Chain A
Amino acid sequence: NAGVTQTPKFRVLKTGQSMTLLCAQDMNHEYMYWYRQDPGMGLRLIHYSVGEGTTAKGEVPDGYNVSRLKKQNFLLGLESAAPSQTSVYFCASSDRGWTEAFFGQGTRLTVV
């Protein structure tokens, strides 16, 4: 049972480079989320999606873009990476109504 899978698990970027983080879920969930986690800051919501083709801004959306072209995938893009985007990124998914949000294993991104 794969659940929520994030790719890649680790990445080092140079300032100004771009990259895309991929999140894939096999539970047919409607909702998907991207969070970043920094020491002492908890999980901060970057963007989220309530269904295929929809996206919405979270708490800290600046510097990131997202797309949900397929229900099972949620992509997070960094167009021009900055050192302030060094963080651990978590993807999560859940179904409509009340259900548990399942998390991926995280992506550790360092921007130098």
Chain B
Amino acid sequence: QKEVEQDPGPLSVPEGAIVSLNCTYSNSAFQYFMWYRQYSRKGPELLMYTYSSGNKEDGRFTAQVDKSSKYISLFIRDSQPSDSATYLCAMRTSNTGKLIFGQGTTLQVKP
């Protein structure tokens, strides 16, 4: 079993929709939770991060962490065609430096 599980999709939504992306994990030692966005043929870039549990909002993006359920989410409001990309969740423990990614979810936002 992978330490981090993510539904690969693909996910196709109309412009303006609310998008929900999710990951589950098995390692309770993870403390840092991140979402990366990757455009085709590019390296991943950090989108959002959260330390431990809670919510974080940045513009149209909201990241949630539920450590009791070992579940994290990324919500995108008012989705735009420019949001079309692969979204990868990532997690790290506080002291080992080991950074683990999910499989990535491919999102397409149709105009």
Whether A and B are associated in the same complex: the answer reads: yes
Residues of A within 8 A of B (CB): 30-31, 33, 35, 40-45, 48, 50, 56, 58-59, 90, 92, 94, 96, 98, 100-101, 103-106
Chain A residues positioned under 8 Å from B102 (CB to CB): 42
Bound CA span A48–B98, Å:
7
Contact of A50 among B6, B51, B96 (CB under 8 A): B96
Bound CA span A30–B90, Å:
19
Known contacts being A42-B6, A42-B88, A42-B104, is A100 close to B99, with CB within 8 Å? no
Chain A residues positioned under 8 Å from B43 (CB to CB): 90, 92, 103-106
* Interface membership of B42, Cβ < 8 A: yes
Residues of B within 8 A of A (CB): 2-3, 6, 8, 32, 34, 41-46, 49, 51, 88, 90, 96-104
Highest count of chain B CB atoms <10 Å: which of A50, A96, A103: A103
6 A-B pairs whose Cβ atoms sit less than 8 Å apart in the complex? A43-B104, A45-B98, A56-B98, A92-B99, A101-B34, A103-B44
B100–A103 contact, CB under 8 A?
Answer: no
A101–B97 contact, CB under 8 A?
Answer: no
Chain B residues positioned under 8 Å from A92 (CB to CB): 43, 99
Bound CA span A65–B2, Å:
22
Q: Closest CB of chain B to A91's CB: distance in Å?
A: 9
Contacts A41-B103, A48-B97, A101-B34 known; list 18 others, CB within 8 Å.
Answer: A31-B97, A31-B99, A40-B8, A42-B102, A42-B103, A42-B104, A43-B104, A45-B100, A45-B101, A48-B98, A90-B44, A92-B43, A98-B49, A100-B49, A101-B90, A103-B45, A105-B42, A106-B42
Chain A residues positioned under 8 Å from B46 (CB to CB): 100-101
